[in-house]
Structures are given as C-alpha cells and as structure tokens.
Amino acid sequence: MTIDPALVKSSFAIVEPHGADVAGYFYQHLFEHNPSVRGLFAEHLADQQDRLWAALGALVTHLEDTDTLVGILQGLGARHAAYGALPEHFPAVGASLLATLSHFAGPEAWTPEVEASWTAVYAVVADTMGQALTAAGPSS
C-alpha cells in the first residue's frame, strides 16, 4: 500500500479546522471501544488533546521528509514507554484515528484512496513508534 501525500494533506486540511471537536471525538471513540486504556491517561484531557493533534499536524507536515518524520516518531515512541503504552494498543488507536478522520472529512472527501493512504501512514507511525517504544522498555 502506498501513501499519496497530497491526499493525506488535503483530507487533513478538511478535518483540522474542526479543532478541539476532533480530539474530543477521537478520545470518546477510543475509550468507548477500549475502556481499559482510559486509566493510562490523565483525568483531564484538555492539554493532551492539543498535543496529540499538534503531533499529527507535524507528522502530516513532514510526510515527505523521511528523516524528520522518523525522528519525530522515534521520540514519541520512546516517550510513550513511560506512559504505559504498549505495541498492542496501536491498532485500537489507529482504528479510532481513522474513524475520527472519516467522520470529520465526510463521505465525499473520505474516498477509498484517502482511507488507503491514511491506513498506510498509520502503519508507518505504529511501526516506528512501536519499535522505539519497545527499545525504550517499560519504565517503572
């Protein structure tokens, strides 16, 4: 599966103006489908919501700059070891992320090609973050 950077950027540009609603929808979806991960997150999610979506924006911006992208993902992955995140959490987060993007992009913009590109992007994200997370090991 290949990534079409133009499709990823144009679909993200439709979703991004929805601001905090996007992050709110994402966490609601994630916790509704995976109640067990709720305890990993702080009780008040406001700051965290901004950081996650800022990180996604940075990933989209650097999509074609592999060195920068891999550096961001390795840093994120290593820090996630301390948050109690596990490689097996990544599919759940990916499913909620895609559900959120599809919801806010709307049926016309969320074409099969857009979905395939985002699926491929998330595979790179989960793989690179997951490796850095495992290398960093569980922190006590």
Q: Which residues bind ligand HEM (CB under 6 A)?
A: 37, 40-42, 48, 51-52, 55-56, 76, 79-80, 83, 85, 89-90, 93, 125, 129
Closest distance of CB 97 from ligand HEM, Å: 6
> Which CB sits closer to ligand HEM, 35 or 107?
35
Do 18 and 11 touch, CB atoms closer than 8 A?
no
CB nearer ligand HEM, residue 93 or residue 114: 93
Q: How far is the CB of 96 from ligand HEM (least distance, A)?
A: 10
Chain residue whose CB lies nearest ligand HEM: 42
Closer residue to ligand HEM (CB): 55 or 116: 55
* Cβ atoms within 10 Å of 133's Cβ, excluding its own: 25
Kindly give, in sequence order, each residue whose CB lies less than 8 Å from that of residue 52, ignoring residues fewer than 6 positions away: 23, 26
Query: In the 8-state DSSP scheme, what is residue 81?
Result: H
Q: How far is CA 73 from each of CA 30, 58, 105, 108, 125, rounded to the nearest angstrom?
A: 21, 10, 24, 30, 7
> Which CB atom, from 48 or from 107, has the smaller least distance to ligand HEM?
48
Tokens of 135: 């290398």
CB of 113 vs ligand HEM, minimal distance in Å: 21
